């Protein structure tokens, strides 16, 4: 007799753009963030990807967009990059102000979105994205921040 277990983690299904469907991404974020509805997960995806789009430039921005479902890629690339990039903590504070959310809730939303985005992008591109950004983003993507701390 073989014991079979059912996977409770929603899969991200293929659609030809970035290897994931938008619905699959939303379900993954809903699962990661323990959101009660897909609409709540979509709010988090849209706000976090828009904020990330204001921070990324160059090849990493283009390559990350190519890994995402079309709808998510549009949100990311519709943003004009900021002149001065924000640190990870400033990113959270800025997003909280823009969405009217609390810092803890915003940090939760960011992690719930960027962890699945990181899996779609793969480790090599995720590391390049993190290296492009100021300090504090590795943890937001669910990775250890192994860069040496900047000295004053």
What value does the mean pLDDT of the chain take? 88
Q: Write down the pTM of the prediction.
A: 0.84
pLDDT number for residue 145: 76
Phi-psi region of 100 (alpha: psi -120 to 50; beta: other; left: phi over 0): left
Q: pLDDT tens digit string along 92-124? A: 999 999 999 999 999 999 999 999 999 999 999
CB-count exposure of residue 128 (10 Å: 0-12, 13-18, 19+): middle
pLDDT number for residue 147: 62
Q: pLDDT tens digit string along 12-49? A: 434 444 557 999 999 999 999 999 999 999 999 999 99
Structure token digits, residue 8: 């409770």
Instruction: Please give the Cα distance from 54 to 80 (Å, whole number).
Output: 6
pLDDT number for residue 148: 61
């Amino acid at each position: 007799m073989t014991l079979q277990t059912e996977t409770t983690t929603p899969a991200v299904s293929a659609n030809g753009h970035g290897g994931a469907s938008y619905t699959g991404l939303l379900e993954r974020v809903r699962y990661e963030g323990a959101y009660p509805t897909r609409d709540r997960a979509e709010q988090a995806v849209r706000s976090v990807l828009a904020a990330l789009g204001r921070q990324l430039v160059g090849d990493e921005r283009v390559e990350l967009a190519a890994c995402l479902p079309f709808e998510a890629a549009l949100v990311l690339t519709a943003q004009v990059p900021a002149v001065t990039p924000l640190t990870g903590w400033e990113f959270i504070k800025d997003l909280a102000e823009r969405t009217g959310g609390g810092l803890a809730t915003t940090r939760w939303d960011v992690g719930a979105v960027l962890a699945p985005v990181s899996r779609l992008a793969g480790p090599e591109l995720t590391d390049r994205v993190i290296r492009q950004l100021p300090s504090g983003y590795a943890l937001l993507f669910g990775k250890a921040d192994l860069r040496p701390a900047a000295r004053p």
